[in-house]
Amino acid sequence: EETLVQSGGGLVQAGGSLKLSCVPSGFTFDDHVIGWFRQAPGKEREQVACTRERISSTYYADSVKDRFTISRDKNTMYLQMNDLKPEDTAVYSCAAGLEGWGSCEPPPPDYEYDAWGQGTQVTVSS
């Protein structure tokens, strides 16, 4: 089974930073669309960032633009979150699409992602 193993998250004060990581299990990263989603209580899941490096395609939700950065280093994907706000509080999940397929302009819907992380809580206090 192809899945992703997440690490990072936790509690931080407003204005602080956190970095989330994901490593694949059952496969290795190559030419994949990778994305980060979040879901706050009572709200729908929202895709906050997506990238497919091979074709230089990247997406950020307006709510996180200029504060969050999605990246990949060999076999680890990251979400660097700076200047965090209380409204960023949510469960964050990483996802990877099928190899060699898709772009982030526009970002794929969640059902087009093939592998998922287990989710991690990020809480931003005011």
Angle ∠(100,61,71) on CA atoms, nearest 5? 50
pLDDT score of 100: 84
The whole-angstrom separation of Cα 34 and Cα 84 is: 22
Determine the pLDDT at residue 101: 84
> Which structure tokens are listed for 76?
């680890």
At 86, phi and psi to the nearest 5? -55, -30
Cα separation of 95 and 59, whole Å?
Answer: 14
Q: Are 20 and 33 in contact (CB under 8 A)?
A: no
Angle formed at CA 35 by CA 96 and CA 89, multiple of 5 degrees:
130
pLDDT above 90 coverage of the chain, percent: 93
pLDDT given at position 22: 97
